[in-house]
Amino acid sequence: MPTNLLLRASAITKSFAGVHALKGVSFELAEGEVHALVGENGAGKSTFTRIVTGALKADSGELEICGQKIAHHSPQQARALGVAAIHQQPLLFPHLTVAENIALSLENGEPGWSVNWKRRYEQARELLHRVGVDLDPKRLAGSLSMAEQQIVEIAKAIGAQAKILLMDEPTALLTDREVDQLFRLIGQFRQEGVGMVYISHRLEEIQKIADRITVLRDGRTIACKDAADVDRGGLIELMVGRSLASIFPKRDVTLGETALEVRNLNNPRLGLHDISFSVKRGEILGMAGLVGSGRTELARTLFGLSSCSSPIYLNGKPVRIGSPAQAIGMGMGYLPEDRRQHGLILEMQLDENISMASLNEVSRWGMVQRGKEARQGEEYVRELRIKANTASVAAQTLSGGNQQKVALARWLAIHPQIMILDEPTQGVDVGSKSEIHELIVQMAERGVAILLISSELPEVLGMCDRIAVFRDRTIAGTLLRDEATQAGIMALAFGHADPLLQEAEQA
């Protein structure tokens, strides 16, 4: 592109405790460009963005922002230069209002010591309007849903009038409608000459909006290509360094008896109502729907994390599940959505994490048998090809995809009959993703009944025997594998009154 360069980085290196995270990364961003940054987890994408935003300092290499050479800069300086970032996890103040959250990130422009509340609310209202959502700026950020929080993050970036916008998985928590809204905004920014760095694991998104794509692998720049010149298969090959045979390894399995059945389940506390479905042994039941449509809430209810009076039928017998311990006792496992908060104890070792839900099996007289536990841990590390020297390292030292495999190993270790997987591949690199898909299929082949919650429609379509679509905290309809299409799922998810539906069907 012939236009002005906003960001130029060359030969950036950075290491943590002797381990190289970046080994000579070069990157360019021009005005009005969307430059995608892709790579497996641990490839160095986040480290690179943190260096640009001033949160980290590079060990060596040159960084130039808007033509200015930067040796060492703070987050404040970066902001002053027009760098803004939208993170994967919204970083908000839960006790402050939406307006304040927006204002605090823009304070550089505000004169004086005091706060002009009127101006703050007006500014927030205007920015939220530009994003296209109707959100009360006086609401406390702590009361917002994750998607709403992400929207506030976007409003913050708009308000900062950034020239360089870094987006790290901005769509991970968004519904498709909000994603469309975001893409419209990106188009608008492009017109205004803003340069955008777009990081995502969703390759179809990248192909839709990116102008250029830079691929990182193991802390190095592998390739930088125009988006038009490369297809998905090629990208994946570049990212993992090998080609993946097929993306979804779903195989047909003969289904067994009904393992889990729910009839008219109500959980007023989480807003769930009139949910009925059943799943057979060996079957993978997909659960699609918008964020907040009740899928995770259902999973929490089934797993005993939220009490509920409706009975659940396991192998035809009605049971009540009051706690996760009971659920595990009945052969149920739950891989939660939030790996870092719920899925693992990051500070603890791999073997300890793996045995955590099945401590009884490695214990005698209530005492943990460390030897047995460690052997079990090593076995899973080997079997699931978890990248770790030994099972006695802390889980936080692993990359996201490997962490997710450890979290999954915990549930494999209880030998479940029913497994609930909540966004099992969210934020996971492409290589680990297909390995996790393979593990899911293997589980189904062993006769495990699986509930697969996913917001990635290709994954749901590719992995599941049937797909239950959620809307407004109940099941709006169930589709068979053969009859399901992206448009069909979205029609159910949005309901027919939605104006965006037509748009989606056209797409």
Partner 1 sequence: MQRHFRPKLRLTGIQWALVAALLLEVILFSIESPAFLTWVNLMEILRFSVELGLLAVALTPILITGGIDLSVGSTVGLVAVTFGMAWQHLHLPLLGALALALLVGCLCGAVNALLIAYLDLPALIITLGTYSLYRGIAEGITRASVSVTGYPSGFLLLGQGYFWSIPIQVFVFLFLLVFYAVLLHRSKIGRALYAIGFNAEGARYAGLPVRRYLALIYLLSGAVSGVAAIVYVSHLGLAKSDLGTGFELQAITAIVIGGTSVFGGRGNLFGSVLGLLFLCVLQNGLHLLAAPSEATGVLTGMLLIAVVATDLLNDKRPALSERWMRWKKPLLVAAGAVVVVLAVVLVGLERSSRSEAGAASGPRRPVIAVMPKAKGDPYFISARAGAEQAAKELGVDLIWDGPTSLDASMQNELVESWITRGVDAIVVAVENKGSISTVLRKARQHHIAVLTWDADAEPDARDYFLNQATPEAIANTLADEGARLLNGKGQFAIVTGALSAENQNQWIAFIKARVAERYPQMKLATVLPSDDDRDKAFSQTQNIMKVYPDVKLVIAISAPAVPGAAEAVQQSGGRVDVIGLSLPTICRPYIHSGVVQTIVLWNTRDLGYLTVYAGWLTSQKKIAPNATTVSAGRLGSLEIKGSEIILGRPMIINKGNIDRLDF
Partner 2 sequence: MNPRIREAGLLLTIVALMLLLAWRTTGFFSAANLTDLFLANMPVMMIAVGMMMVILTGEIDISVGSIFAISSVVMGKCASTGVPIWLSGLIACAVGVLLGALNGRLIAYVRIPSIVATLATMVALRDGLRWYTQGSWIQGLPAGFQWFGMSQSGFTGLCVVAVVLITGLTALGLRNLRMGRAIVATGSNRMAACAAGIDARRVVFGVFAVTGGLAGLSAVLNSVRFNQIPSNSGLGLELKVIAAVAVGGAAITGGSATMTGTVLGVILLSCIGSALTFLGINAYWEKAIQGGIILIAVAADTLKLQRRDHAKTLPA
Interface residue list for partner 1 (CB under 8 A): 16-18, 56, 305, 323-325, 327-328, 334, 336, 341-348, 352, 356-357, 359-360, 363, 366-368, 370-371, 374-375, 378, 389-390, 392, 410
The entry of partner 1, partner 2, none that residue 110 binds, CB within 5 to 8 Å by partner kind: partner 2
The answer to whether the beta carbons of residues 137 and 99 sit under 8 Å apart is yes
**Taking CB under 8 A as the rule, does residue 273 contact partner 2?**
no
Applying CB under 8 A, the span of 135-143, 161-169, 397-405, 446-454 interacting with partner 2 comes to: 135-143
Look at residues 198, 148, 202, 199 and name the one whose alpha carbon lies nearest to residue 454.
Answer: 202
Residues in the chain: 507
Cβ proximity to partner 1, 5 vs 393, nearer residue: 393
Of 56 and 179, nearer to partner 1 (C-beta) is 56
CA dist 151 and 92 (Å) reads 11
Residue 108 binds: one of partner 1, partner 2, none (C-beta under 5 to 8 A by kind) = partner 2
Site string for partner 2, 138-157 (x = CB under 8 A): xxx-xx--------------
Residue found by looking up tokens 């939406």 in the block: 98
Q: Site map for partner 2, 465-484, x if CB under 8 A? A: --------------------
Q: How many CB atoms lie within 10 A of CB 492?
A: 22
Q: How far apart are CA 144 and CA 131, in angstroms?
A: 16
**Distance of alpha carbon 376 from its chain centroid, rounded?**
29
> How far is the CA of 213 from the CAs of 22, 223, 224, 320, 400, in angstroms?
18, 8, 6, 51, 22
Residue 476 exposure: Cα atoms within 13 Å on the Cβ side: 21
CB of 476 to partner 2, least distance (A): 22
What are the Cα distances from residue 383, in Å, to 249, 413, 494?
A: 18, 12, 41
Q: How far is the CB of 414 from partner 1 (least distance, A)?
A: 8
How many other C-beta atoms can be found within 10 angstroms of the C-beta atom of residue 42? Answer: 21
Per-residue x/- track, 67-106, partner 2 (CB under 8 A): -------xxx--x-----------xxxxxxx--x---xx-
Name the residue among 75, 110, 104, 76 with its Cα closest to residue 92. Answer: 104
Q: How far is the CB of 357 from partner 1 (least distance, A)?
A: 5
Say if residue 338 is exposed, middle or buried (CB neighbours under 10 Å; 0-12, 13-18, 19+).
middle
- Using an 8 Å Cβ cutoff, are 30 and 86 in contact? no
Which is nearer to partner 2, 74 or 396 (by Cβ)? 74
> Of the two residues 75 and 322, which places its CB atom closer to partner 2 in the complex?
75
Q: Give 267's strand partners.
A: 272
Tell me how far apart the alpha carbons of residues 115 and 51 are, in angstroms, rounded to a whole number: 31
Binder of residue 390, out of partner 1, partner 2, none (CB less than 5 to 8 A by kind): partner 1
Q: Which does 140 bind (CB under 5 to 8 A by kind): partner 2, partner 1, none?
A: partner 2
344 binds, among partner 2, partner 1, none (CB under 5 to 8 A by kind): partner 1
Q: Tokens 């929207």, residue?
A: 151
Q: Residue 121 binds which entry of partner 1, partner 2, none, with Cβ cut-offs from 5 to 8 Å by kind? A: partner 2
In the complex, the residues that contact partner 2 under the rule CB under 8 A are 55, 74-76, 79, 91-97, 100, 104-105, 107-108, 110, 113-115, 117, 121, 136, 138-140, 142-143
